[in-house]
């Protein structure tokens, strides 16, 4: 019994220990990046001078072009039940809020939106927070409210922009009573728009250095956490453009890494028979990119649609990640693989679809914490199951490192996808984890697969050349033998067909001649002179028929076996030849109801390089067939013309068309009419023929390097189209 090759225990333990160290290193890197991100890229309110009496925010120090960003997260006012249309129509102005119920000292940045206006919030002109009024817009109910802030800038302040990265709902910005632009999500369900991905708009300042800002937010009543959910910022136009540019550079860098990974994956997959891993990676990257562009509002949906799409893509990512981990160990030779691992992916996939279907059936769950709970549940199941697989069953597998990196990145990404923390830059933390893992995986792929593949390719090149040479020799020999055998079979079949057809066609006239001869011998002088002449005439006709058959066979054989001596090419006029033939056949048809017409150009002789006798034989055969296979009243039309007159002479062609309105040829027999001894079933017994005429025509046409085509409709006629080189 053959022993299985086993990796030494010390080797396995050492390799597994290194992989665990790499995993811990990645966890440490992600934790460090998280800390740096939260320190450097988290919005915190900037203490600014505020006057309670006028409810105005004073920016006393100068905002030059390179100054830091100011974050205005406190001292806002909120007025419920005011719509964008109220401001646009002029029925609500900035100072009007002093006369109606409103909240002052409002703090922004809570993930609960206007459900949480902060601990310092004070309601004015009312004893308690007023209830929201439902507004019906296109059959859907909306809650509306407006955030108000007056900002007084220091003299000489530059143009500034206000940035609100996260708004649940649709928001319109008004400054000093004028509409500036829109933030947040799309207003109506089903509508999709493309934005720049960075939610900032300019803030016009009046001559007094004031900016009365009103942000009107509309959100569907079934939205769980409507309103502004992040701290607004103020920055100079130059600073805002810089932030936009840096964010764009980051996403360009991320996209470049994705493209490199796809190209590398495609190259590696092309060397493998099973490309399932590449397809799983492709689906995973697609799901991530779609989630990213929806989350960052590069593609802007209505709020609830955005929430649902993000939830669905989170579930898809979980399923795909588990499928990718499973595919890494699909062909593992470990002896510890339990039978459960053969269908555990199906269990995870079914669970994911069940979570999606539950929300689809019960739409009320969209505005609850169900989505976060379901995503976390599936993420925990996938992470734990993958770690168990790797640590306890596949740690010694070559793909364990990639699997660990993938699981760790997935866990950190999912945690931060749930967080939705807004930062200075529009770069979510999960995007940073994703980029780090892409870089690591691409480096690993390069050294582990591409380098090994090139080394292997270099060592096998010589053997491959030798194999290719031998294969080519065998292929050429096999091809030659196959072609020779095919030709022998074709020749043998053709010989049998010729003998069969010749014997059949000769037997008929021979039988007739023999019959007439026996009648003449037995009857003797008892026959009248008229009968004798009739029998002798029939004998002569039958002998002429035999002569035609033999003559056609001899002619066809000569053309096929000795074409160079049989064909005498010279320059000749197709127009003149057709004119002569038409005159000859017109004379023959006088006194009948059959007519022949000719249509040739007046100023073109249609000169071709051909054998006049052979080409005349072609036209005669076709015209004779048209005459023989038409009804008593018939029209045979002959036309000739040139195409490509303006083109190079080598691309010009001379066309000859011979058509009739005769009995036609059955559609299923069109492809056989040029075969030797073949006659159509409807050709009739009373029309004499050898079945070699069209075969001779095809042979002559082929030796002229020309083409012939036949079109026919049963009972309506036949058309032959000959194309010659001028």
Q: What is the rounded CA–CA span in Å between residue 610 and residue 597?
A: 24
* Pairing relationship of beta strands 707-713 and 634-643 according to DSSP bridges: unpaired
The answer to whether the CB of 175 falls within 8 A of the CB of 151 is: no
Q: What is the rounded CA–CA span in Å between residue 337 and residue 392?
A: 10
Confidence band of 548 (pLDDT split at 50, 70, 90): low
Helix H or strand E encompassing 534: helix 529-561
Confidence band of 9 (pLDDT split at 50, 70, 90): very low
pLDDT greater than 60 at residue 476: yes
pLDDT greater than 60 at residue 136: yes
pLDDT of 123 reads 94
The rounded mean pLDDT for the chain is: 81
Q: Of 53-57, 109-113, 335-339, which range is least confident?
A: 335-339
Task: Walk me through the domains of the chain, giving residue ranges and CATH numbers.
Answer: 9-40+272-427 (no CATH), 49-237 (2.60.120.260), 568-724 (3.30.565.10)
Question: Bigger pLDDT: 271 or 72?
Answer: 72
Q: What is the rounded CA–CA span in Å between residue 703 and residue 611?
A: 10
Question: In this predicted model, what pLDDT tens digit does every residue of 552-590 receive, in sequence order?
Answer: 666 666 665 555 556 788 899 888 988 888 888 887 788
Confidence band of 399 (pLDDT split at 50, 70, 90): confident
Question: In this predicted model, what pLDDT tens digit does every residue of 99-115 receive, in sequence order?
Answer: 999 999 999 988 889 99
Confidence band of 174 (pLDDT split at 50, 70, 90): very high
> pTM for this structure?
0.58
The SS3 assignment for 138 reads: coil
pLDDT of 563 reads 55
pLDDT greater than 90 at residue 594: no
Confidence band of 297 (pLDDT split at 50, 70, 90): confident
pLDDT of 160 reads 83
pLDDT greater than 70 at residue 683: no
The DSSP 8-state label assigned to residue 157 in this structure reads: P
pLDDT greater than 50 at residue 644: yes
Q: What is the mean pLDDT of residues 23-31?
A: 90
pLDDT greater than 90 at residue 214: yes
Q: What is the mean pLDDT of residues 56-65?
A: 69
The answer to whether the CB of 295 falls within 8 A of the CB of 339 is: no
**Nearest partner of 58 among 179, 240, 234, 215, judged by Cα:** 234
pLDDT of 197 reads 43
Helices 237-269 and 429-445: angle between axes, nearest 10 degrees: 30
């Amino acid at each position: 019994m053959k022993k299985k090759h086993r990796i030494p225990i010390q080797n396995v333990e050492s390799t597994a220990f290194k992989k665990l160290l790499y995993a811990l290193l990645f966890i440490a890197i992600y934790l460090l990046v998280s800390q740096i991100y939260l320190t450097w890229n988290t919005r915190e309110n900037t203490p600014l001078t505020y006057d309670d009496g006028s409810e105005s925010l004073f920016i006393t120090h100068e905002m030059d072009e390179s100054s830091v960003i100011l974050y205005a997260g406190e001292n806002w006012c909120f007025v419920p039940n005011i719509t964008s249309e109220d401001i646009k129509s002029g029925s609500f102005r900035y100072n009007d809020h002093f006369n109606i119920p409103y909240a002052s000292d409002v703090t922004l940045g809570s993930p609960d939106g206007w459900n949480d206006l902060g601990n310092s919030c004070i309601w004015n002109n009312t004893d308690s927070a007023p209830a929201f009024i439902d507004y019906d817009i296109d059959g859907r109910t909306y809650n509306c409210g407006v955030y108000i802030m007056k900002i007084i800038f220091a003299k000489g302040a530059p143009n500034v922009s206000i940035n609100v990265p996260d708004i649940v709902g649709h928001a319109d910005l008004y400054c000093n009573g004028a509409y500036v632009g829109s933030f947040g999500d799309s207003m109506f369900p089903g509508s999709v728009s493309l934005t720049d991905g960075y939610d900032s708009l300019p803030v016009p300042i009046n001559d007094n250095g004031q900016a009365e800002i009103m942000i009107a937010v509309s959100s569907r009543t079934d939205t769980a956490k409507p309103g502004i959910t992040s701290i607004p910022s103020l920055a100079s136009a130059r600073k805002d453009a810089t932030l936009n540019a840096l964010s764009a550079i980051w996403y360009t860098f991320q996209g470049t890494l994705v493209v490199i990974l796809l190209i590398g994956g495609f190259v590696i997959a092309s060397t493998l028979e099973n490309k399932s891993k590449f397809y799983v990676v492709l689906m995973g990257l697609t799901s991530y990119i779609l989630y990213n562009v929806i989350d960052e509002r590069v593609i802007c949906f209505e709020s609830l649609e955005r929430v649902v799409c993000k939830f669905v893509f989170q579930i898809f990512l979980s399923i795909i990640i588990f499928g990718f981990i499973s595919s890494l160990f699909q062909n593992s030779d470990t002896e510890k693989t339990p039978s459960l691992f053969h269908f555990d992916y199906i269990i995870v996939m079914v669970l994911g679809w069940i979570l999606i279907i539950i929300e689809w059936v019960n739409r009320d769950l969209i505005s609850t914490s169900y989505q976060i709970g379901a995503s976390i549940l599936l993420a925990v199941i996938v992470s734990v199951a993958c770690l168990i697989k790797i640590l306890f069953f596949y740690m010694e597998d070559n793909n364990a490192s990639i699997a660990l990196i993938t699981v760790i990145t997935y866990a950190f990404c999912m945690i931060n996808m749930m967080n939705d923390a807004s930062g200075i830059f529009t770069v979510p933390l999960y995007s940073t984890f994703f980029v780090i893992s892409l870089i690591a995986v691409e480096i690993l792929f390069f050294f582990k697969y591409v380098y090994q593949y090139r080394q292997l390719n270099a060592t096998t090149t010589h053997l491959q050349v030798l194999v290719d040479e031998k294969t080519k020799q065998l292929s050429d020999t096999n091809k030659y033998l196959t072609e020779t055998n095919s030709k022998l079979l074709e020749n043998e079949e053709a010989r049998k067909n010729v003998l069969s057809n010749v014997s059949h066609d000769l037997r008929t006239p021979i039988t007739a001649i023999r019959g007439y001869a026996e009648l003449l011998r037995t009857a003797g002088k008892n026959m009248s002179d008229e009968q004798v002449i009739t029998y002798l005439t029939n004998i002569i006709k039958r002998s002429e028929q035999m002569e035609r058959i033999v003559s056609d066979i001899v002619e066809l054989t000569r053309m096929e076996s000795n074409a160079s001596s049989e064909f005498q090419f010279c320059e000749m006029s197709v127009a003149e030849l057709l004119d002569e033939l038409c005159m000859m056949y017109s004379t023959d048809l006088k006194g009948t109801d059959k007519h022949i017409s000719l249509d040739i150009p007046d100023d073109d002789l249609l000169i071709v390089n051909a054998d006049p006798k052979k080409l005349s034989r072609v036209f005669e055969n076709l015209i004779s067939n048209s005459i023989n296979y038409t009804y008593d009243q018939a029209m045979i039309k002959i036309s000739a013309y040139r195409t490509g007159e303006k083109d190079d002479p080598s691309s010009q062609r001379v066309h000859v068309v011979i058509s009739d309105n005769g009995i036609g040829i059955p559609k299923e027999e069109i492809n056989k009419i040029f075969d030797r001894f073949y006659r159509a079933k409807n050709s009739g017994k009373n029309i004499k023929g050898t079945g070699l005429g069209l075969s001779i025509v095809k042979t002559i046409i082929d030796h002229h390097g020309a083409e012939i085509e036949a079109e026919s409709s049963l009972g309506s006629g036949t058309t032959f189209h000959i194309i010659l080189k001028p």
